[in-house]
């Protein structure tokens, strides 16, 4: 395994700010490109300040896309408010939380 490939496996896509309907289209394209370029899909949500149903739908869709491509999918550093939202909606299976 070369150095470039190792870096791609360890790299995480970081989302900062709102994960809402206002940004979903922009983020979707970037995240889909990210899925294609890495072996393991890790999305770091530490910087997310707000999330709505469209943001959750994007994460669920991204997980499905990664799994269909045979790639591991991991959400990391979820803000407690996002964890509560996912659990409150019963979406743990579709959007796993640590």
Any domain includes 96: no
Any domain includes 93: no
Model pLDDT for residues 13-46, shown as the tens digit of each residue = 999 999 999 999 999 999 999 999 999 999 999 9
CATH of the domain at 55: 3.30.750.24
Q: How far apart are CA 66 and CA 41, in angstroms?
A: 7
Any domain includes 95: no
Any domain includes 58: yes
Question: How is the beta sheet containing 40-51 ordered, strand by strand?
Answer: 13-19, 40-51, 72-76
Domain count, the chain: 1
Structure tokens at 84: 């509560």
Any domain includes 97: no
Predicted confidence (pLDDT) at residue 2 exceeds the cutoff of 50: no
pLDDT score recorded for residue 10: 55
Which residue do the tokens 């959400």 mark? 75
pLDDT score recorded for residue 8: 45
Any domain includes 98: no
Structure tokens at 6: 């190792």
């Amino acid at each position: 395994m070369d150095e470039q490939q190792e870096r791609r496996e360890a790299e995480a896509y970081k989302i900062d700010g709102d994960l809402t309907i206002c940004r979903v289209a922009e983020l979707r394209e970037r995240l889909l490109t990210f899925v294609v370029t890495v072996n393991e899909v890790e999305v770091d949500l530490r910087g997310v300040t707000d999330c709505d149903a469209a943001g959750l739908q994007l994460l669920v869709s991204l997980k499905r896309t990664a799994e269909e491509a045979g790639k591991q999918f991991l959400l990391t550093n979820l803000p407690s408010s996002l964890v509560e939202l996912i659990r409150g909606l019963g979406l743990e299976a579709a959007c796993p939380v640590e």
